[in-house]
């Protein structure tokens, strides 16, 4: 196990800045997930940690030792990629123990480490099979096994589950979690899937265009997103937004949206005149019969455009007059496009972001 420190790390590819001003301290045994849209610099950051890419400026240290100039094989890390790249002509045991044999460890130690990893991953019965005789999930487990046997200080994973179908991905996600609970090795895990990030991480690093937008626990980034970018990236279906200016109407504070729809805000800490994105999540919108919201709530009305029954809930896409809004409903009522509906939302579930900077207010 080890601490990992990235300090002001930057990566240029010619004139393209792939990573900028990346500073992060990862604790001993911590499971940190980098998440963000395609091209935001996740893999590049991971590859710099692994030593597969040079750092343009800044420094990286593992366990207190600067590794900028240390060869990948001497960094004591193990990396698992999306394409597991197993040797097709070697069986599972040989694939898993390949690195140890290359290091010429004693035969008994190779055997005990490989069997231990196989036991952790439930691969004991498959040790004699070749990759061609394994399912996708089993191959992925062998790739993880190859990393585990090395007993590295740090695990690096780059989208290790993205080749698997949805069901298997879910199963392997749970296995990743169990694995980390057992070996407790410091782990950096890259994905563009926010659900994977939320479910696996001790802390999530949300990246956008080469920069860190926010670092926090899953709970923090969901409840207190630092920017509109984070707010719209974390959560599914995504957060809804209404854009406009905070103003006063009579004695009430309202959001005058740019399309003219006025939303009464029961209470609001944002000063008058400020232009904002008002954000609210689908799961916090409660379908109501009355237009008048109870104390401490706001009311939003919409016209249903799409109804998506999911069994345990129904997702309603509506035209809110100021834009599209998506709400969730857990009940037995049936809806039709064209129906008008009313949602109530608790004011402490509302998020305000500055219109020009996107930063949380």
Ligand X SMILES: Nc1ncnc2c1ncn2[C@@H]1O[C@H](COP(=O)(O)OP(=O)(O)OP(=O)(O)O)[C@@H](O)[C@H]1O
Residues forming beta bridges with residue 240, ordered by sequence position = 280
> How many whole angstroms separate alpha carbon 162 and alpha carbon 307?
29
Q: Which of 169, 188, 172, 231 is nearest to 34 (CA)?
A: 188
Q: Assign residue 75 a region (left: φ > 0; alpha: ψ between -120 and 50; beta: otherwise).
A: alpha
Choose from ligand X, Mg ion, none: what does 191 bind? Cβ within 5-8 Å by kind: none
Tokens (6 digits) for 285: 């919108």
The residue among 359, 172, 169 whose CA lies nearest residue 279 is 359
> What x/- string results for residues 248 through 277 when contact with ligand X is judged by CB under 6 A?
------------------------------
Q: Give min distance, CB of 35 to Mg ion, in A.
A: 11
Among 44, 95, 138, 240, binds ligand X (CB under 6 A): 44
CB of 213 to ligand X, least distance (A): 13
Find the binder of ligand X among 6, 42, 244, 263 (CB under 6 A): 42
In angstroms, the CA 244 to CA 277 distance is: 7
Q: Which is nearer to Mg ion, 51 or 282 (CB)?
A: 51
Candidates 4, 6, 35, 40: give the one binding ligand X (CB under 6 A). Answer: 40
CA angle 222, 226, 232 (to 5 degrees): 60
Name the residue with tokens 């070697």.
Answer: 90
User: Which is nearer to Mg ion, 157 or 222 (by Cβ)?
Assistant: 157
Query: What minimum distance in Å lies between the beta carbon of 42 and Mg ion?
Result: 5
Beta bridge partners of 286: 344
Tell me how far, at minimum, the Cβ of 41 lies from ligand X, in Å: 4
Q: Which residues contact 246 (CB under 8 A, 6 or more apart)?
A: 253, 254, 255, 265, 268, 270, 271, 272, 273, 274, 275, 276
Which CB atom, from 43 or from 240, has the smaller least distance to Mg ion? 43
Q: Applying CB under 6 A, which part among 34-42, 61-69, 122-130, 342-350 lies near ligand X?
A: 34-42
User: Which H or E run includes 319?
Assistant: strand 314-319
Q: Is 38 in the site for ligand X (CB under 6 A)?
A: yes
C-alpha dihedral, 117 to 35 to 220 to 29, nearest 10°: 30
Q: Residue 246's beta-bridge partner residues? A: 255
Q: Which residues ranging from 1 to 30 are in contact with ligand X (CB under 6 A)?
A: 13, 16, 18
Minimal distance, residue 44 CB to Mg ion, in Å: 8
What is the closest distance, in whole angstroms, from the C-beta atom of residue 297 to Mg ion in the complex?
A: 42
**Chain position carrying tokens 């698997």:** 164
Tell me if 82 contacts Mg ion by CB under 5 A: no
Interaction between residue 206 and ligand X (CB under 6 A): no
Does position 43 interact with Mg ion (CB under 5 A)? The reply is yes
* Residue 40 interface partner, choices Mg ion, ligand X, none, CB cut-off 5-8 Å depending on type: ligand X
Q: Give the range of 32-40, 86-94, 196-204, 264-272 binding ligand X by CB under 6 A.
A: 32-40
3-state secondary structure of 182: helix
List residues near ligand X by CB under 6 A: 13, 16, 18, 36, 38-44, 192
């Amino acid at each position: 196990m080890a601490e990992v420190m990235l300090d002001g790390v930057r990566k240029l590819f010619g004139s393209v800045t792939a990573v900028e001003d990346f500073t992060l301290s990862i604790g001993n045994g911590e499971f940190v997930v980098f998440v963000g849209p395609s091209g935001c610099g996740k893999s590049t950051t991971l590859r710099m940690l692994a030593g597969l890419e040079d750092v343009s400026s800044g420094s990286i240290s593992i366990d207190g030792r600067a590794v900028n100039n240390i060869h990948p094989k001497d960094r004591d890390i193990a990396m698992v990629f999306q394409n597991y790249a197993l040797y097709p002509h070697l069986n599972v045991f040989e694939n898993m123990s390949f690195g140890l044999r290359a290091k010429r460890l004693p035969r008994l130690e190779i055997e005990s480490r490989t069997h231990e990893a196989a036991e952790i991953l439930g691969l004991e019965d498959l040790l004699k099979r070749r990759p061609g005789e394994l399912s996708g999930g089993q191959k992925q487990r062998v790739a993880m096994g190859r990393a585990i046997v090395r007993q590295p200080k740090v695990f690096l994973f780059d989208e290790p589950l993205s080749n698997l179908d949805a069901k298997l991905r879910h199963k392997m996600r749970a296995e990743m979690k169990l694995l980390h609970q057992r070996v407790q090795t410091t782990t950096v895990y890259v994905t563009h899937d926010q659900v994977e990030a939320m479910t696996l991480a001790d802390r999530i690093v949300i990246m956008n265009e080469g920069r860190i937008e926010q670092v926090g626990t899953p709970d923090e980034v969901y409840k207190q997103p630092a920017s509109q970018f984070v707010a719209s990236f974390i959560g599914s279906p995504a957060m809804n937004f209404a854009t406009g200016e905070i103003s006063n109407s009579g004695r009430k504070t309202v959001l005058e949206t740019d399309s003219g729809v006025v939303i009464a805000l029961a209470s609001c800490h944002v000063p008058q005149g400020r232009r904002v994105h008002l954000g609210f999540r689908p799961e916090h919108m409660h379908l109501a019969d009355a237009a008048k919201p109870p104390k401490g709530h706001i009311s939003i009305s919409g016209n249903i455009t799409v109804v998506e029954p999911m069994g345990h809930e129904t997702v309603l896409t509506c035209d809110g007059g100021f834009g599209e809004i998506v709400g969730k409903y857990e009940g037995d009522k049936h809806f039709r496009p064209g129906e008008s509906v009313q949602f109530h939302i608790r004011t402490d579930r509302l998020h305000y972001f500055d219109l020009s900077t996107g930063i949380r207010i």
